[in-house]
Structure 1
């Protein structure tokens, strides 16, 4: 029944939309329900509802291969994500938003933009942001994997929270394509849905490049180098002697250039290494209370269990042992 399903939309057959609506939820439970569903389908956020507002929200989510398109209709609300949210189990994703009705305000990366009907923007849903809608709103959200977007756009953080008009050019083509998808994509095969999703992403990134003056060639070279760096980190997470010099040398770049590349994602080479070590350890611990903490720490490249425990608590706000008692998330 729409509004009562708790299945993730990614599990839906291609060409078939999941409909999630507050219409079937008791009014006093709607805010909690919406927080849960947004967290399940997109990312963890806080939801604020203006006083004297009867909360309404409807999401029609259509899977398109590795992407997804959502048509969202909502009463006035404010969505926010603060720094430090534990999102390591979330999918790294970028949202392209096309406003259909109402006013839409977005803040991210030190910028604030107000959009009206026909305007397009994008933001990284897993990083701090604020979405403020002071009136009833209708919008289309195109959700794309972060790595795919970054392979097409250099320095995504300089592209967020920008107003992209869609009256002409590549932005008009992208917007018209998005508007047609909810109807025209119905009944597509899995292969066709994936191809259509890829086309939509190509059109949207073309529109954004037209706004910021990016070029695919320069973006592509940076992404190749960045992928090499990350591959070295993943392959040697358990090497306690791994440092910035060794990572950069194995990836064939300088330490300075490696840090420039990772600065585009808001981090540095060593911060990225330690973050990945902690995420690896958290996955190993989750749902495994019998696991030895010292073994997990060593496998993640920590020389000292005490250092590991301090770093883990700072990252996840609980001890490794307490984290191990958490149920393992379903894949």
Structure 2
């Protein structure tokens, strides 16, 4: 199936409502904020390649928010892979910001709370991938998964080329061929993800010791909301790729591990009375705002943090 829609057929505020409705209905449930208001322009073409849905999208500057209400309203349980062809973007979740530019890929789980910002006009190719097809190939792709694939890596370049060529074909192959090629496309993409995370999932003894040291250091910095993959790697004198590889050996990512430690530490602090206010817990343990912290806490423990305060 193929589908295309654009905002030119609508005028004024109607085009904003139209874009929001069509993106949510056919792509992913989000709440957009339009920098240019009624001057916003957008065009999206969607093609089905068997299990993988490819979208070629051009749009004015915009920010998309995907929160708990959007997660609940979504009919899909997917991962998204976004290739930037033009412009730059920023993906934010759990106080972590991932910046990516033209030629970069971003692969993330849509069951988490996140925002996606495009400060200038951009063009992207997106692949929507059903969860079972991703997790069967990438076991560590959990519900807080987000990985940036840099354009300077050969495997990223190959995956980006395949995505772009498939999404911009003038005429699609037959449905059966699309299904076969969609699975092959997904295999290539997952190889690029594995290459970024690190192929060797078993750390050497020296790496295991280094991993313990890194974890100890991070536990002492839980309140530092500026921590990201690059700054952590730099402070330890290693490359981001090496850092990713060491945590991938445990089926997680450094930011996912840090996020869980922050939540765990805040749970203990609220339980034993060390911290008496939810807002204090949020800021003490590295979250930038209390509302995001509350959502993350509820999702992790199925419990509102203020319930611990009142005990």
TM-score (norm 2): 0.61
- SS of structure 1 residue aligned to 2:68: coil
Residue 102 of structure 1: CA displacement?
0.6
Preserved contact between residue 46 and residue 81 of structure 1 (Cα < 8 Å): yes
What is the correspondence of 1:31-180 to structure 2 with a 5 Å cutoff?
31-51=16-36, 54-85=39-70, 87=72, 90-157=75-142, 160-180=145-165
Preserved contact between residue 106 and residue 113 of structure 1 (Cα < 8 Å): yes
* Aligned with 2:13 (options 9, 28, 31): 28
- Structure 1 distance, partners of 2:94, 2:108, is 9
Structure 1 residues 48 and 164: alpha-carbon distance in aligned structure 2, compared to 1, 3 A threshold: same
Structure 1 residues 33 and 88: alpha-carbon distance in aligned structure 2, compared to 1, 3 A threshold: closer
- Structure 2 distance, partners of 1:92, 1:132, is 22
| Residue number in structure 1 paired with 2:285 | none
What is the correspondence of 1:139-288 to structure 2 with a 5 Å cutoff?
139-157=124-142, 160-184=145-169, 186-213=171-198
- Structure 1 distance, partners of 2:112, 2:97, is 15
Structure 1 residues 192 and 159: alpha-carbon distance in aligned structure 2, compared to 1, 3 A threshold: farther
Unaligned runs of 5+ in 2: 203-249, 261-301, 303-311
- Structure 2 distance, partners of 1:81, 1:159, is 13
- Structure 1 distance, partners of 2:136, 2:74, is 22
Structure 1 residues 183 and 101: alpha-carbon distance in aligned structure 2, compared to 1, 3 A threshold: closer
Residue 215 of structure 1: CA displacement?
6.3
Residue 154 of structure 1: CA displacement?
2.2
- SS of structure 1 residue aligned to 2:8: helix
Paired residues in the alignment total 212
Shifted more, 167-176 versus 144-153: the winner is 167-176
- Structure 2 distance, partners of 1:117, 1:203, is 19
Residue 36 of structure 1: CA displacement?
1.2
Preserved contact between residue 35 and residue 46 of structure 1 (Cα < 8 Å): yes
Unaligned runs of 5+ in 1: 1-11, 218-259, 268-313, 315-331
Shifted more, 130-139 versus 117-126: the winner is 117-126
1:228-278 superposed Cα distances (whole Å, 9 cap, x missing partner) = xxxxxxxxxxxxxxxxxxxxxxxxxxxxxxxx99xx9x99xxxxxxxxxxx
Shifted more, 208-217 versus 35-44: the winner is 208-217
Residue 104 of structure 1: CA displacement?
0.8
Structure 1 residues 158 and 91: alpha-carbon distance in aligned structure 2, compared to 1, 3 A threshold: closer
Residue 156 of structure 1: CA displacement?
1.6
- SS of structure 1 residue aligned to 2:189: helix
> What CA RMSD, in Å, does the superposition of the two structures yield over aligned residues?
3.2
Residue 127 of structure 1: CA displacement?
2.3
TM-score (norm 1): 0.57
